[in-house]
Structure formats: structure tokens, C-alpha cells
Structure 1
């Protein structure tokens, strides 16, 4: 029974992802973001539980990827579709209502928001590669799908809790959003070595970069709240590059 605990935690990740998709389709991007964040929280602890209980299994590995596909692939893709729709129509609405807006079916407006679905495609390819790549046992090659999801889901939270003309003009710029989509798809599948937050021991010498990253992240979140998320992800990539050189 104890060996099913990791799979139960993974299932909670999947459930959160499904709820996030539901709220994103309904136009409630803030609630969708909270569910994705919760799913990623469960995703972090299912692997930890599996190691502690010595309950690693092929079923657990496949279930984890399927859950990540929903929470960190489909959910952020739908959120990005909504953000692109909002950048064109001026207000977040349900996807069904979006296509009822007068004048929607003219020009590129009809298709541009669907470029957000490329996030799901990029995440699926990333997860498929991860499952067969024996090099990613202690580190990552390419940006993990939860990290990319955090970047996307931080955007509606910044709009909601840090409103400003600058943030709105940047985040609700269609070409900025398309740039985020393309950058995420490339980074998820690039041959880019990144450290993982997996502690085999707690000593400082072997975990310097991890402790430094966690310290910077906590300070950034305290000072900047949701604006810190994109900054933290940038620091994560930069620290990985520096650490690799050392």
C-alpha cells in the first residue's frame, strides 16, 4: 500500500492539471495558474516519495509523464491561447465566447491564438525524449516542462496582482507572447544541460549551486512576488551555464 503513495501524489498532479485546463477554457486564468502551481508542487514530491519509499516503477514513470503533459503542457498551452485572445480582443473570456465576438473571423485574428498550442507539442516532445534519455538521471538536458509552465502561468498572475501600463502593454503584446511560445519550445528541447534540485546529500560543497539558487529564489519572491518567476527562471538557466563551465 505504501508503494502506491507516489502514484497517488502523481494522480493529484494530474487532477490539478485537469482543473487548470477547465478554468483556463472558462477564462479564469488566475485560478488556472493556482492549479498548475499546485500540480507542479505534487510533481516535485512524487519523485521524492518514490525514492524514500523505494517505490520507483515503470508505471510511475509513465504516469508522471502523462500527468506532466496535462499540467505542464496542455494547461499552459490553453492559458497562452487565452492570453493571445485577450491581446487581440481586449478582455479574457471563455474560448467558446471568444469565437462569437463580432469580427473575429477576419484576417489572422482567426488563427493567431492557436499558436499557443505549440507549447503542448513542445512539452510532449520534451517528455518523450526525457523518458528514453539515460543522461537525465541527475540533471536535465533542456528546460523541464514544469519550469516552462511556471513562466507561462506567471504572466496572468503578474497582470492580476501587479497591474501597470508597462506590464499590460508588454504581456498583452501578441508578438511578445509568440516569442515566449517559441523560446519555450526551443529551450525545452535544446541540448542545454541544467542542474536539477535533487539533493543526494545536504553538504554545501556538492550543492553550492542549488543552495545559491534557492536563496536567490526566496529573496526574489519576497521582494518581487509573481514578477520574480521569470527572473528566477532566467537565473536558473544562467547558473546552469556557469556551473557547467566550472
Structure 2
């Protein structure tokens, strides 16, 4: 294998390294640092494919490495963060010792995200329909949604939003819903560009512009709203455009 063919794989390993470090900080409850490393990992995840297309190299090894790295960064880390969020709520409500005495601790439900992400990634590797679009919510999108929750909880002044994230019934329902979205037969557009013409990419450009505006105005709260907007635009595009 030529050196040029290895470069995308090295970038993919950067994703894996970032995800592993993020997992360590997530276990320790340092959600901000975990979020930074998740973001770095997702950037690596984007650029490994970009560089592979730029160098016109591809292969089965790169495909498998990509999914294995995503499994850590966008599968294990959000599962740990949801686990910690549910656990923290139990501690805050003085229910932690009571719940941990049960055979199945309720915070383990958060790890369903990890299982669902693994199942989605395995299906993605075998599904030839997902070369230009996605079927089901991509794992990085799910990951960003979950990683943003503790950051929103720390930063926002909106009590309703804080109360939602502090409610384990909401977090458990969200865990199941995101797990469902990752594996449902729902077509979502990809942000890969074949060309940069407005005519062929106006939905993508509209989404990117709206995302930037939301990030500048709402900070971390923008992240779940951007994911929701992505889903809505994808459904509208598929049905009407």
C-alpha cells in the first residue's frame, strides 16, 4: 500500500484516538472536555473521507476502520454520557442508592445508544444504498445531540430545558427514540457534495446557513435543534422536492 493510500487511514485513527480520550473524560464527568474531543473526532471522521476522495483512494480496510472508529467516538461516548446524566439525576434526587440496589440499574438504559449505534454501523457497512445519502440517523448526529445535553444543562438559563434534561423519564424516552431513529428506514441527505452548484444543493446550503445562524444565537442549545432541522429537511426533501 502506497503512502498516499494510508493517509486517510491515519486520519481515521485520529478519530479513534479522539473518541477514546473523550470516553475517558466522559467517565470522569468532564463533559466539556469530552465534547471537545468528540468534535475533534467527528472532524477527523469528515476529513478521512474527504482526503480519500481527493487522493482517489479507497478500500475495504478504510471502510472497516472508519466504522470501528465511529463506534468509539459516536457510539461508546454518547452511551457513557447518557449513563452519567441518568446517574447524576438519581444522585440529585437521592435515589441512587435505592436504584443501585436493584438487579438492573436504570442508568444502564443509556448504554442502549451504544448498542443501537453498533447495529447501525454494521448495517451501514453492508447497505449499498447509503453511498450518497443515509438511511436512519447517522451516529455522529446522534452523538452530537447527546453530547450537547450536559453542556446545555450547564449553560442555559431556560428552566424548562434544564428541567427536561434533569428528568430521567425524558432521558430514557430520548434514548429509545434516538436508537429508533438510527435504525429506521428513513432517508436523510448527506452533506457530501458532488458539485457546488446552488441548483443541486440548495437544501444543503439552506441547512448549513440555518445551522450557522443557530450556533451564533443559541450556543449549545442550537445542536439538538440543528439535528431536528436536519431530520425535518430530509423528510421534506424526500417527499416534496
3-state SS in 1 of match to 2:113: helix
Q: Is the 8 A contact 1:138 1:198 kept in 2?
A: yes
* Superposed CA offset, 1:69-118 (max 9, x none): 00000011001100000111029xxxxxxxxx75553358x610000110
Counterparts in 2 of 1:200-239, with a 5 A limit? 200-239=194-233
Preserved CA contact (<8 Å) 2:112 2:175: yes
Post-superposition offset of 1:160: 2.1
Gaps of 5+ in 1: 92-100
Give the CA deviation at 1:159. 1.5
For residues 2-151 of structure 1, the aligned pairs below 5 Å read: 2-90=4-92, 103=98, 105-107=100-102, 111-151=105-145
What is aligned with 1:159? 153
1:172 aligns with 2:181: no
1:185 and 2:187 matched: no
Alignment RMSD (CA, Å): 1.6
Distance 1:164 1:90 in 2: 19
- Report the counterpart of residue 242 of structure 1 in structure 2: 236
Residue 156 of structure 1: how far off its partner (Å): 1.0
Q: Following superposition, which runs of at least 4 residues in structure 1 exceed 4 angstroms of deviation?
A: 101-104
CA distance in 1, matches of 2:160, 2:40: 29
Deviations 1:95-151 (A, max 9, x none): xxxxxx75553358x610000110010000000000000000000000000000010
1:186-239 per-position Cα deviation (integer Å, ceiling 9, x unaligned) = 000000000000000010111011001001000110111110011111110110
Q: Is the 8 A contact 2:99 2:106 kept in 1?
A: no
| CA offset digits 1:3-54 (Å, max 9, x no partner) | 2111111101000110111011111122111111111111111100100011
Hey, what does 1:97 align to over in structure 2? none
Structure 2 length normalisation: TM-score? Answer: 0.94
Cα distance between partner residues in 1 of 2:200 and 2:47: 22
Aligned counterparts of 1:219 and 1:55: Cα–Cα separation in 2: 35
Asked if the contact 2:29–2:84 (Cα under 8 Å) also holds between the matched residues in 1, the reply is yes
Secondary structure at the counterpart of residue 135 of structure 1: helix
Query: How many angstroms apart in 1 are the aligned matches of 2:158 and 2:221?
Result: 12
Number of equivalences: 237
Structure 2 gaps, min length 5 = none
